[in-house]
Homo-oligomer: A and B are copies of this chain.
Amino acid sequence: MDTEATTDLRRIYAPVDEEMRLLAMFLKEELGSSQPFIWQILQHIAKFRGKQIRPALLFLTSKIGGAETTPDHVKIGAVIELIHTATLVHDDVLDEARLRRNMETVHRRWGERAAVLIGDYIYSRAFHLSTQVPGMAGILSDTTHTICEGELLQIGSRFRPDLDEATYFEIIRKKTAILYAVSCEIGGTLGGLEPDRCERLHDFGLELGMAFQIADDCLDYAGQEALVGKSLGTDLHQGKLTLPLIYLLESVSEAEARWLRGVLSAPLDPVAEARIVDLVRRHGVVPEAFARAEAFVQAGKAVLIETLNGDPGAAAVRESLDMIADYMVRRQR
């Protein structure tokens, strides 16, 4: 993470500083075990703590109505972060990733068996915690189910060069955007907003999550491993079609498209892979996809403006929510 982005985050999180501190304490407690072997893995996972954008969104949106933060807010913020953490741990197994935030992944260090199980361990801990706050377990288990569905759909569409933008959007809405959406929606619910306001916060989060995932997929072509802190260039290699490639197929000549569809239907050899990366650069499809992400950011901001209407707490969090929206695309460039 570059320094500018870190400074941004500090400003964004300012209105929920105290909540983020309580979250960190809560997660430290929850990522513990009296069993040395389990404790050791959980400590390792705790070290690759991320930016915790989802709980930050929950805390920010919960303040819109001017309500006080309660321990339940912190608990559900932690549940969402734990669900996200579990998906990352399992993703790393799936992606055969070597690095996560510049650190060794769990399965590289303790093996796949431990990585799968520690993910299950964290999921079940998260679900158990969610049952302690009325009305939360149903929506959070359903959201997790949708995330898994999205990930499975993505696997099912590997080596399918006929994947269109609409299906790609459905996949990333399910695997990524839904957790942003539900974080914002639950923030509204816990903050005492009316159901239709919570629904609009859901839509706000959905737009942000779409932007985030598209930017992330662009990064797979555009980023630098050391800067980003995770293994790169894996999507193409794994037959995962993302927005830059979908745009590429629309941009190239008929002959090139035919060739592309052919080679993308099966694992790539290094020569074809290099040629595709070159086509991606020459046709400017990464900036094009980034622009699509930016459009989602703008749509999110528009929803936000409609949603915040003279609420007692809106002034304090409006700027942060606006900045988070921008951050979805900015963070990675």
Contact = CB atoms under 8 A, between A and B. Distances in A.
Given A35-B153, A35-B156, A145 B128 contact: yes
Nearest to A36: B156
A113 interface: yes
A116 B128 contact: no
B114 A93 contact: no
A302 interface: no
Interface in A136-152: 137-138, 141-142, 144-145, 147-149, 151-152
B112 A112 contact: yes
Interface stretch (A65-73, A117-125, A184-192, A306-314): A117-125
A5 interface: no
A112 B125 contact: no
Q: Which of A33, A110, A119, A127 neighbours the largest number of chain B CB atoms within 10 Å of its CB?
A: A127
Contact of A120 (B114, B123, B130, B137): B123
A35 B155 CA distance: 12
A132 interface: yes
B93 A156 contact: no
B116 A152 contact: no
B131 A137 contact: yes
Interface residues of A, number: 43
Nearest to A138: B131
Contacts of A118: 148, 152
A260 B118 CA distance: 30
A270 to B, nearest CB: 22
A272 interface: no
A155 B93 contact: no
Given A35-B152, A156-B35, A156-B38, A116 B90 contact: yes
Contacts of A131: 131, 137-138, 141
B120 A144 contact: yes
A118 B148 CA distance: 7
A117 B150 CA distance: 10
Contacts of A153: 35, 37-38
Contacts of A111: 155
A125 B137 contact: no
Closest 6 CB pairs of A and B: A37-B156, A127-B141, A124-B145, A121-B148, A128-B141, A124-B144
20 contacts: A35-B149, A35-B152, A37-B157, A38-B156, A90-B116, A93-B116, A94-B113, A117-B148, A120-B148, A121-B145, A121-B152, A124-B141, A124-B142, A124-B147, A127-B127, A128-B138, A128-B141, A128-B145, A131-B137, A131-B138
